[in-house]
Structure 1
Amino acid sequence: MGLHPLGFIVPLFVLLPNLIFIFLPPRNAPESLSSTPLIFTLLERAGQVTCFMMPILFGDLLAAEPLGGSAVLMVICLLIYYGCWVRFYRRKREFSVLFTPWLGIPVPMAVFPALYFLLLSYWLQSWLFAVPACLFTVGHLVNSWSVYQQIRQYRN
């Protein structure tokens, strides 16, 4: 366990678009959306915090691992995720675009960060990273799918 610059970079790559989102929020967000059961929000938040903190705390572990196929797939997930953010800003920050399918992939802005952290746990062969990645994935996908379904119903 130890700090290393790479440990800060891995979660920062996923956070960067979200930081821009703070200053350029979505337009036309529904006034109210029904929420999923609280357990999914708790799973998502617990997974988020741990997925962002684990690489920082175990940065030396990341730095010691040779780059492999999982790291390449992580970069691909990240590039697709950034592409989804570009799509969001090109479409004038419409709220619904955050959940719009891409190439048949539902809620891609939830799928690709989840895959990114799952691949990180696979790359490190670490259950310590896999557990929070799974928690985040379940919570994030369920919550995002719920919003997507509500948006679809609202538009129809």
Structure 2
Amino acid sequence: MLGHLGFSYVGLIYLLMLFIPNIIWSKSQPIDSEKTHENKVLIWFERVGQVGCTGSVLIFNDFNIATFSAWSLWLISSFLLMIFYEICWIRYFTNEHTKGKLYRSFYGIPVPLASLPVMAFLLLGIYGEVIWLIAFGIILGIGHIGVHIQHLKAIKKVE
């Protein structure tokens, strides 16, 4: 349950799926972007979760693909959530770059650019049976989803 040390190529793939759209986004900020005052506690949770998840997915080889079994459905479900995450980024990049487009739901999933990768990392942690990723995923979820909900509420006040 603690994890076996070793490089995870699956973790690297997840991080690439996470970081590449975010790098592109840094050059395609919403046109109606303005500074939002974010809760410092949520930011702290987000940063700790980001560092913990990034490290965990790379240093535990339990996430690498093993012989197919019913347990593999955790990995498949996790990867599908990452695919949905990529679709949400494509949806943002191919539309007008506004905060409303950035935070809109995806088939009923609120703030999908925050919630989908968090859920994917939690399922990946279950698949690999690595308590560290599960714990850091929960910490990340509290902060990252919390901050995004805060942004969404600020947008709705303006509308």
TM-score, scaled relative to structure 2: 0.87
Residue 57 of structure 1 corresponds to: 59
Residue 154 of structure 1 corresponds to: 158
Q: After TM superposition, give the deviation of residue 24 of structure 1 in Å.
A: 2.4
Q: After TM superposition, give the deviation of residue 48 of structure 1 in Å.
A: 0.7
Residues 14-62 of structure 1: CA deviation (Å, up to 9, x unaligned): 2221121123222211x232322x111111111011111112122x332
Determine the C-alpha separation between the residues in 1 that align with 2:30 and 2:81: 23
Q: Does 1:79 align with 2:83?
A: yes
- Counterpart of 2:15 in structure 1: which amino acid? P
Determine the C-alpha separation between the residues in 1 that align with 2:91 and 2:8: 33
Q: Which secondary structure state, in structure 1, belongs to the residue aligned with residue 44 of structure 2?
A: helix
Residue 96 of structure 2 corresponds to: 92
Larger helix percent = 1
Q: Does 1:13 align with 2:17?
A: yes
Determine the C-alpha separation between the residues in 2 that align with 1:120 and 1:66: 16
Q: Does 1:33 align with 2:56?
A: no
Instruction: Among all aligned residue pairs of Structure 1 and Structure 2, give the percentage whose two residues are the same amino acid.
Output: 23
Structure 1 alignment gaps of length 5 or more: none
Q: After TM superposition, give the deviation of residue 4 of structure 1 in Å.
A: 4.4
Q: After TM superposition, give the deviation of residue 112 of structure 1 in Å.
A: 0.3
Determine the C-alpha separation between the residues in 2 that align with 1:34 and 1:55: 30
CA 1:65/1:23 → structure 2, altered by over 3 Å: closer, same or farther? same
Q: After TM superposition, give the deviation of residue 65 of structure 1 in Å.
A: 3.9
Residues matched between the structures, number = 152
TM-score, scaled relative to structure 1: 0.88
Q: Does 1:131 align with 2:135?
A: yes
Determine the C-alpha separation between the residues in 2 that align with 1:10 and 1:110: 14
Determine the C-alpha separation between the residues in 2 that align with 1:151 and 1:141: 15
Is the 2:62–2:129 Cα contact (8 Å) retained in structure 1? no
Determine the C-alpha separation between the residues in 2 that align with 1:101 and 1:61: 32
Q: Does 1:101 align with 2:102?
A: no
* Equivalent residue in structure 2 for 1:23, among 13, 21, 27: 27
CA-based RMSD of the aligned residues comes to: 1.7
Q: Which secondary structure state, in structure 2, belongs to the residue aligned with residue 24 of structure 1?
A: coil
CA 1:104/1:10 → structure 2, altered by over 3 Å: closer, same or farther? closer
